[in-house]
Structure 1
Amino acid sequence: MTQTSGDTYSFHLGRKPYLRASLLGYLLIGLSLLFAATSAFLGVKLWPTYTHDFTPYLKWQDALLSMLWFCSFMILVGTVIAVRFLFALRAGYRHGILILEGDRTLTVRDLSPKNYASIYWMAGTGISCCAAALIGLVPEILIGWTVHLPHPALVLFATAAAICLSLAGLAVTLVAVSFIIIGLIGAISFTRKMGAPQTYRLTSQTVLRIDGFVLTVIYPDQPESLFDLELLDPHDQRRLLLLLRERWLDAARPWNPLLGEEIEAALEEAQRALIVS
């Protein structure tokens, strides 16, 4: 913790949490790049194994190729966001993860390692939507087989059935593709906000809660922030809790009537962590 001015306190990301989160990030990024490279390589190897002439139906090789390359793309998107989070971790370690300016404002960064799960959940959801889109196109792949059936009657009925199924499957594909587009657009905002500082005014409209050693900050028209106190060194955990209690009492307890009890419970947990460390 550093006191930058008379009533402004800056708390930095603890060294151990920083190293753990950074190592986890580097490991995930390395595995992601390996997976993306493997998927792209398989797609490149598949490309020359079939002809690319136009056909009125979808070739299964095209579907597989699209899946491989889209997997590679989504994993790279997740990797970019993970790299962005690593930069945010470094900023939190060097410049502060939580800044308390008297009883006026509170600035926090959500640098919990759980953000990695959110990143790759987003990438996995995109891949799942791509798979759903391709499943919707399976009837169009079947057309490529039905037109080669030995009997003309079988060709007629089987192709007609595949066309009817393809119309229903097209609805699934359109929905899945729309989800992919919406997700990619949302990923831009998600990346920009990943680990970014959020500043809240400490007014009567602000809600502060501590539950499970996690500080929750809520303010109207602003996104909710969750700050894991485990990200601080044990000494800083206690100092922050004492400062919050002091500011809460000075401000006539507006943020949460039960905050005092929650701080006391968190102080006991911080004291146990301090003894263990």
Structure 2
Amino acid sequence: MPPQERTPSLGPDDRDVVAAAREALHPLLDELRPELLARSGNVELELKDDGTPVTSVDLEVNDRLLARLSEVFPEHTVVSEELVTGHEDSRWTWIVDPIDGTSNFISGLPYWCISMALTLDGHPVLGLVEAPPVAARYEAVAGEGATGNGEPLSVMPPVDWSDRRNRHVPLLLTTATARRARPAVRLNPRVMGSAALDLCQVAAGNAAASLSFAPKVWDVAAGVLLILEAGGEYLTLDGPPLLPLRADTEYAGRSAPAAAGPNADYLRALVDTLVTDPIAVPRAR
């Protein structure tokens, strides 16, 4: 269970690219926010070949984001949940999920977001999550910390689950995780429906940890940087990590189970408890 590799320090020229990216994307996200709020709950469901839901809005948002990126950064490559899922060898690559939490978006449930990450040599250096239903914009820049609506974010300290006073603290699970981690019902599990936004909540200190057994790289790329810059850890539970990106890799079929929270030891204890030991309860470390 290796912790996520940290992003190397950015040089002045690299920071200029990150600043230009934020300047280019903020106005577009401002435009999209009211449009998406108006369309959530008023859109038809379609199914992709793998059986996951998609809507015309996913594709429209994807097109608008990629058009802006192509206009400002024509030399950058893109890995997107919609349309482009392979990674070519490039110094600068964007990882885009136009709507994370599509099922919620279709149903009108207010827990979905746009998730974008900019990577340098495969490592996330900018994480940007726009969450219109909760009126929040989460951002992280490598080496500069993480913010929510401009306010600094910090993960919650380790929670001692054996203390009954802590049983109200949320533990965020994806649907696939909840099916396998049944002992989590002894804690305070929440299945919210957006892995990207779950990571934002952990980074903001609103939840103790998040567990996801089958995330794709576009689900977590921005959130990983948010977690690290908020003082937490992101732990790959099995197999090779999704990040850093690797050249000539097809990401549509790749996932890697992971946990995010305050530190690696605590996350390992939590995973051992929920997945292999239904009796023990992890204590703070």
TM-score (norm 1): 0.23
TM-score (norm 2): 0.22
Q: Which has the larger radius of gyration?
A: 1
